[in-house]
Amino acid sequence: MKIALDFFPILLFFAAYKLADIYTATAVLMAATVLQMGAMYAIDRKLTAMHKITLALVLGFGALTLGLHDERFIKWKPTVLYAGLALGLGLALWVWRKNYLQLLLGSQLSLPPRVWHRLNVAWVLYCAFMAGINGVVAAFFSTETWVNFKLWGYAFPLVFILAQAVYISRHLEAEDAHEGRQQ
């Protein structure tokens, strides 16, 4: 259910763009994101910081796109989001010595500190890559190409998340086996 909710706004954005234009698609994205967050809140009775940031960026950059009739704002929103995530995770890890992935997910996953560190670094690199690739497509390609990239570019997060799951599962199994021997 939640995975379907994640794709809901981008699929509606893509359809609206194909049926109308970037401005209609932006308005649809804004409305779909509000509905998505409402559904997330109804399910979990809370919104994560990431949900709130995403909502604020979609509404802010969407309003600028519509108000100024300039498609560049909505095209650069993902770059700002991903760059902010890479910067935030990197600064937290290397300056403040905090691993926010572990702080957020540590109660759900029992992993060794080195694995948490590697996951955090992987997220920093992934977010920097996504910011860069969106920036290149937004700056140097047509809006049509960018919209298609937004839809088919979902392969990047899917591959990244699957790779993480495989990596984490190896360490969860090792951790479970280690705990079993101690009992």
d(CA 114, CA 109): 14
The helix-helix angle for 72-94 and 49-68 (nearest 10°) equals 150
**Whether 105 contacts 120, CB under 8 Å:** no
- Which of left, alpha, beta for 99 (phi over 0: left; psi -120 to 50: alpha)? beta
d(CA 160, CA 71): 28
Q: What is the pLDDT of residues 61-84, one digit of tens each?
A: 999 999 999 999 999 999 999 999
Check residue 108 and give its pLDDT.
Answer: 86
In the 3-class helix/strand/coil scheme, how is 101-166 assigned residue by residue? HHHHHCCCCCCCHHHHHHHHHHHHHHHHHHHHHHHHHHHHCCHHHHHHHHHHCCHHHHHHHHHHHH
Higher-pLDDT residue of 176 and 106 is 106
Q: What is the pLDDT of residues 85-135, one digit of tens each?
A: 999 999 999 999 999 999 988 888 889 999 999 999 999 999 999 999 999
Q: What is the pLDDT of residues 148-169, one digit of tens each?
A: 999 888 889 989 999 999 999 9
Residue 80 has φ and ψ, to the nearest 5°, of: -65, -45
**Whether 98 contacts 92, CB under 8 Å:** yes
Check residue 105 and give its pLDDT.
Answer: 85
Q: What is the pTM of this model?
A: 0.86
Token pair in block for residue 143: 């809006």
